[in-house]
Amino acid sequence: VLMKSSPEVSSINQEALVLTAKATELFVQHLAACSYRRGSGRERKALTYTDLSKTAEESETFQFLADILPKKILASKYLKMLKEKRDEDEEENDSGDGNDGDEAES
């Protein structure tokens, strides 16, 4: 489905499909194994979302997944972060009066 969703792809060779599926399977298996070894689920013999997101954040190999597997945070913490960012943006906008001194008034 992903391959067919690309406008550049008109047809998919069956062998390419099988190889891509196998590569995807091996990649997910490797991600799961690395996450399990690094994670806290080891004591419970379980792999958790937190283990996956921690691996994506900390491992250079899986860094490209950090946006897809973000750390879970509470909604209250997220709202607080948004408010702090909004306050910072307002301070930056208030501190600049729009005149940098480079433009001459006429």
Name the band, by pLDDT with cuts 50, 70 and 90, for residue 41. low
Residue for token pair 């099988």: 18
pLDDT of residue 106: 44
pLDDT of residue 22: 95
Range 31-39 contact pairs with CB under 8 angstroms and sequence separation of 24 or more: 31/55, 31/62, 31/65, 34/59, 34/61, 34/62
Q: Coil, strand or helix: which one is 2?
A: helix
Question: Is residue 98 scored above 60 in pLDDT?
Answer: no
Residues sharing a CB contact under 8 Å with residue 97, sequence separation 6 or more, in sequence order = none
What domains are there in the chain, each with its CATH number? 2-95 (1.10.20.10)
Q: Which residue has the higher pLDDT, 72 or 65?
A: 65
One-character DSSP codes across 43-98: TTT---HHHHHHHHHH-STTGGGTTTSPPP--HHHHHHHHHHHHHHHHHHHHH--S
pLDDT of residue 28: 94
